Amino acid sequence: MTAERSLWEIKLAHRPKSFWYPYPTLQNVGVLERLLASAGLDLMELCRGPHGKIADIGGADGDLAFLLERMGLAVDLIDNKPTNFNHLEGAQILKEALRSNVTIQTVDLDSQFTLSGKKYDAIFLLGVLYHLKNPFFVLEKLAAIARYCFLSTRIARQTDNGQQISQAPMAYLLGPQECNNDSTNFWIFSEEGLKRLINRTGWSLLSYLSIGLTANSTPADPERDERAFCLLRSELVPMVTASPNPVPAHKATARTIISWNTGTANPGKIYVSIDGQQELLFATSRQGSAPANWIRAGRTYEFRLYDSDHTRLLDKVVVATADAMTKPAPSGGLMTSVVFQRSGYAESGRRR
């Protein structure tokens, strides 16, 4: 039984199908796993960072949030109660049925919102961007509080009258009935427009793919739907990362790329400690990337980002090795192998 099916059994035991958010949110999981594989990153390594918390923003009934919690992660579910499909009642029902510790918050992203000073290791922003009146503000705000972002949104290669926009960095303002007859849809980006938005709001694009009709997509026709999926890394948060991590250890020595950013205009220093021994200087600059070609199986490598005086630790990452002969995850991937069981377990009509 899949996570999606087991979750639906719980939903239908509490309310009829018409009550619940109608679109299959967990079908996005396979695409997210492809994004991670393309970037050479591991989901659990990425989500278990220094802040100890992730967020699912625009989470509808919370399917993804509860799935991530079952994988051992602390999750905030954030949506706007007035525009959520069932006013967040569905998420509350599931939280009680699953005896979940997921925190449910109502936030209007189009307001000058705050998230109570929280910091997140990762945020999931799936199917939300085109519902925002000011997507630039939201992405820039999130880049200051989150290390990584999984982003998906609808994009288009032409307007409703056939005008081509795919090669231009465009944001196209929708008419109120133009996209699924849903007046809560505002902005559709071209691929180049989306990538420019990402860059201008303080994010680096680590991995990108699109699914659906990728030849002549347009918001005016529901049958010509194209979705972009992106894995982003903040340029505003001090960070040091390794990719791939874990590193496949099929040779005497293996290679990973160390990337860093101080999040400010000031330079930093990268040191590495091998097996807990004395630190060795690895690199000096505000941001950059450099290969570590000497990773060996069975040893521990901790890369540490400091300020320029080597007095304040800004971030660190532990690089692990993985046996290249390790058996692959079961079909459907780690995330979809979760099954929900009942404990004794976003928006107005919107599609994620």
DSSP-assigned letter for residue 246? S
Same domain, 122 and 266: no
Same domain, 219 and 98: yes
CA–CA separation, 212 vs 351, rounded Å? Answer: 14
Residue 307's SS3 state is strand
Same domain, 295 and 210: no
pLDDT score of 347 = 37
Axis-axis angle for helices 3-14, 63-70 (nearest 10): 120
pTM: 0.86
Same domain, 146 and 278: no
Same domain, 40 and 88: yes
Q: Which helix (H) or strand (E) holds 197?
A: helix 191-200
Q: Does residue 331 sit within a domain?
A: no
Same domain, 146 and 257: no
Same domain, 34 and 148: yes
Same domain, 146 and 281: no
CB 310 within 8 A of CB 21: no
Same domain, 89 and 201: yes
pLDDT score of 325 = 38
pLDDT score of 120 = 97
Residue 283's SS3 state is strand
List, for the chain, all residue ranges whose pLDDT scores fall below the cut of 50: 324-332, 344-351
Same domain, 109 and 134: yes
Same domain, 148 and 296: no
pLDDT score of 338 = 66
Q: Which helix (H) or strand (E) holds 97?
A: helix 89-98
Boundary (domain end) residue, out of 236, 258, 278? 236
Neighbours of 139 (CB within 10 A): 21
DSSP-assigned letter for residue 82? T
CB 148 within 8 A of CB 122: yes
Domain containing 115: what range?
3-236
What residue ranges in 40-82 does DSSP mark as E strands?
54-57, 75-79
Identity (one letter) of the amino acid at 236? L
What total number of domains does the chain contain? Answer: 2
Bridge-partner residues for 232, per DSSP? 149, 205
Between the two ends of the chain, the Cα-to-Cα distance in Å is 23
pLDDT score of 332 = 46
